[in-house]
Amino acid sequence: MNYFYIITNSMKDADYAITDRIITCLEEHGKQCFLYDGGEVPQHMDCALVLGGDGTFIQASRKLLGMDVPMLGINMGTLGYLTEVEVQNVESAIGQLIEGRYSVEERMMLYGSVAGGTSDVALNDIVVGRNGSLKIVHFNLYVNGEYLNSYQADGVVISTPTGSTAYNLSAGGPIVEPTASLILVTPICSHALNSSSIVFSDKDEVEIEIGSRRDGTPEEAAVTFDGADITTIRTGDRIRIKKSRNTAKIIKLSKISFLETLREKMKGN
């Protein structure tokens, strides 16, 4: 690796002290660094170093979409699933990278599109939820064009295995091993007994159609991709969600398994 792209959450590293440490370390090893400035990502990057928490890492995966650049997360938040390296271990982590002592995991992403409107990707999840109203959302679920069920709920989370430990888990959904390739659908606070999550194949296409309110007036909902890029949809609109052709490539330095990380997270619960 010779060309490193650095993405820093300026709220977590306000004075860029850690970022500067990383740049200095890399340059001492004769490597070139490029700092994210909000513009286009330079071509031919060998690696992206992402400083922040899991949220920063997820947004970085979308910035690097289709560029085939593996990412290493440097944790400046709480214990995360994606940001593996702690700040105090930055220099040794860079040493491992340069020596080639790492592996790369590919993580499934989702692609969502609204007819005649927005399309985007997500590493964690695509959420259809209330649009500023306290009223529940009425929506219909279709799989591969076939009607499956209707829900009255605060919304629905369509998640990847990577996102299974995020909003999906908070909504009562299952935890899935992150390198699996599946689509999870979990209603949020459903007003019914049939509110269990459903797990689909990565070859399936899920559609969420916004229904009408009980009084027949139009419904309105908001779609978010990894918690960002809000799109408003209304009664009769559908969002189609399937496995993206793109994947996120995550660098792993340690031999710590997902189960061990999960065990540590669960100690506080």
CATH code where residue 259 lies: 3.40.50.10330
Question: What is the 3-class SS of 8-57, one letter each residue?
Answer: ECCCCCCCCHHHHHHHHHHHHCCCEEEECCCCCCCCCCCEEEEEECHHHH
**Domain check: are 124 and 213 in the same one?**
yes
Q: Which residues have a Cβ under 8 Å from the Cβ of 46 and sit 6 or more positions away?
A: 1, 2, 3, 4, 69
**Domain check: are 116 and 207 in the same one?**
yes
Distances (CA, A) of 236 to 140, 209, 219: 10, 6, 9
**Domain check: are 11 and 114 in the same one?**
no
**Domain check: are 44 and 142 in the same one?**
no
**Domain check: are 70 and 24 in the same one?**
yes
- Rounded-to-integer distance, Cα 147 and Cα 55, Å: 34
Count how many domains the chain has: 2
Residue type, 158: I
- Rounded-to-integer distance, Cα 34 and Cα 112, Å: 31
Q: Which of 54, 120, 125, 226 is catalytic?
A: 54
* Cβ–Cβ under 8 Å, residues 4 and 34: yes
Give the pLDDT of the chain (269 residues) as one tens digit per residue: 899 999 999 999 999 999 999 999 999 999 999 999 888 899 899 999 999 999 999 999 999 999 999 999 999 877 677 888 999 999 999 999 999 999 999 999 999 999 877 899 999 999 999 887 677 889 999 999 999 999 999 999 999 999 999 999 999 999 999 999 999 999 999 887 667 899 999 999 999 999 987 777 788 899 999 998 889 999 999 999 999 999 999 999 977 777 777 777 666 55
CATH code where residue 180 lies: 2.60.200.30
**Domain check: are 65 and 191 in the same one?**
no
pLDDT for residue 22: 96
**Domain check: are 135 and 85 in the same one?**
no
> Is 54 a known active-site residue?
yes
Which pTM was predicted?
0.91
96 phi and psi, to 5 degrees?
Answer: -65, -40
pLDDT for residue 132: 73
Task: Give the pairing of strands 198-201 and 228-234.
Answer: unpaired
pLDDT for residue 77: 74
Tokens of 83: 């940001």
Domain limits for position 25: 3-102+253-266
